Amino acid sequence: MAATLLRTVVDDLIKDFKQIIDDKQLQKTQVAHWVIMLGNRLLSQHIGKRDSGAYLSIYPDVPITVAAANDAPNVVKGRKHIVLPTCIFDYNMDGGVEYISYYMDSDCVGCPPKFVNQTFTRTTPSDVQRLYFSKYEEPDPKNPYWYRAGQYIYLLGIECVNPKAVEIGIYSTLKPITDPTIDLDAPFNFPEELLIQLKRQVLDLGRFVLVIPEERTNDGVDSDQGKAIPANKLTSVNELSQDVTENK
Amino acid sequence: MDLSPHNFVSVNEILADVLKIVKDSSFKLNSKGWYTSQIQQALEELSFNTFFNDVNQSFDIPKNLRLEMPKGAFNLQQVYLFNGDECNIQSSVNVYTKRNFINSKSGNGYVARDKYYNDGDRFHTKRAVRDTSSAVNGLSGDLRGPDNLYYCGLQSGVIMFSPNCRNYQKAMLVYTGIMADIGETPVVPQFFRQAVKDFVLVPALETKMTETVGTNAYGHWAGLKRSYEAKKDQPYTGSWFTAEKRAKNLNSKERQDYKEYFTRLNY
Q: How far is A65 from chain B (nearest CA, A)?
A: 24
Rounded CA gap, A73 and B167, in Å?
Answer: 70
Which of A93, A136, A145 should one mutate to test binding to chain B, selecting the residue with the greatest count of B CBs within 10 A? A136
pLDDT at A214: 56
Q: Which residues of A92-118 are buried (b: 16+ CB within 10 A; e: fewer)?
A: eebebbbbbbbbeeeeeeeeeebbebb
Nearest by CB to residue A136, choosing from B26, B27, B33, is B33
Checking if the pLDDT of B144 tops 70, the result is no
Checking if the pLDDT of B101 tops 60, the result is yes
> What ipTM score was computed for the predicted complex, to two decimals?
0.72
Rounded CA gap, B44 and B27, in Å?
Answer: 24
Share of chain B above pLDDT 90, in %: 51
By a Cβ cutoff of 8 Å, what residues of chain A touch chain B?
Answer: 93, 95, 98-99, 119, 121-123, 131, 134-138, 143, 145
| Contact status of B126 with chain A (Cβ, < 8 Å) | no
Checking if the pLDDT of B149 tops 60, the result is yes
| pLDDT band (50, 70, 90) for residue A193 | very high
Q: If you write DSSP's letter for every residue of A175-199 in order, what string do you get?
A: PPTT-TT--TTSB--S-GGGHHHHH
Whether residues B183 and A119 touch (CB distance < 8 A) is answered with no
pLDDT in tens, B102-133: 998 888 888 988 888 787 888 888 776 666 66
**CA-to-CA dists, residue B38 to A144, B74, B200, angstroms:** 18, 20, 6
pLDDT at B248: 79
Nearest by CB to residue A136, choosing from B26, B28, B37, is B37
User: Which amino acid does the sequence have at B169?
Assistant: Q
Q: Which residues of B168-191 are buried (b: 16+ CB within 10 A; e: fewer)?
A: bebbbbebbbbbbbeebebebbeb
Whether residues A99 and B26 touch (CB distance < 8 A) is answered with yes
Rounded CA gap, A237 and A243, in Å?
Answer: 12
Q: Which of B19, B16, B43 is nearest to B243 (CA)?
A: B43
Nearest by CB to residue B27, choosing from A95, A119, A136, is A119
Query: Taking the CA of residue A98 as centre, how many other CA atoms within 13 Å lie in the half-sphere pointing to its CB?
Result: 19
Checking if the pLDDT of A244 tops 50, the result is no
Rounded CA gap, B248 and A129, in Å?
Answer: 41
Whether residues B183 and A95 touch (CB distance < 8 A) is answered with no
Q: Which positions ≥6 away from A129 have C-beta within 8 Å?
A: none
Q: Which residues in chain B are closer than 8 Å to A123, comparing Cβ atoms?
A: 31
pTM above the 0.80 mark?
A: no
Q: Which of B172, B207, B179 is nearest to B52 (CA)?
A: B179
pLDDT at B173: 94
Strand, coil or helix: what is B225?
A: helix
How many secondary structure helices (H) and strands (E) does chain A include?
A: 5, 9
In degrees and rounded to multiples of 5, residue A3 shows phi and psi of -140, 160
In degrees and rounded to multiples of 5, residue B236 shows phi and psi of 70, -35
Q: Are B141 and B133 in contact (CB under 8 A)?
A: yes
Neighbours of A164 (CB within 10 A): 11
Enumerate the domain spans of chain B.
8-52+180-259, 54-177
In degrees and rounded to multiples of 5, residue A149 shows phi and psi of -135, 100
Rounded CA gap, B65 and B78, in Å?
Answer: 17
Nearest CA in chain A to B182: A135
Q: Are A189 and A56 in contact (CB under 8 A)?
A: no
Q: How far is B266 from chain A (nearest CA, A)?
A: 55
pLDDT in tens, A60-93: 999 999 998 898 898 899 999 999 999 999 998 8
pLDDT in tens, B185-206: 888 888 899 999 999 999 999 9
Q: Which residues in chain B are closer than 8 Å to A95, comparing Cβ atoms?
A: 28
| Contact status of B36 with chain A (Cβ, < 8 Å) | yes
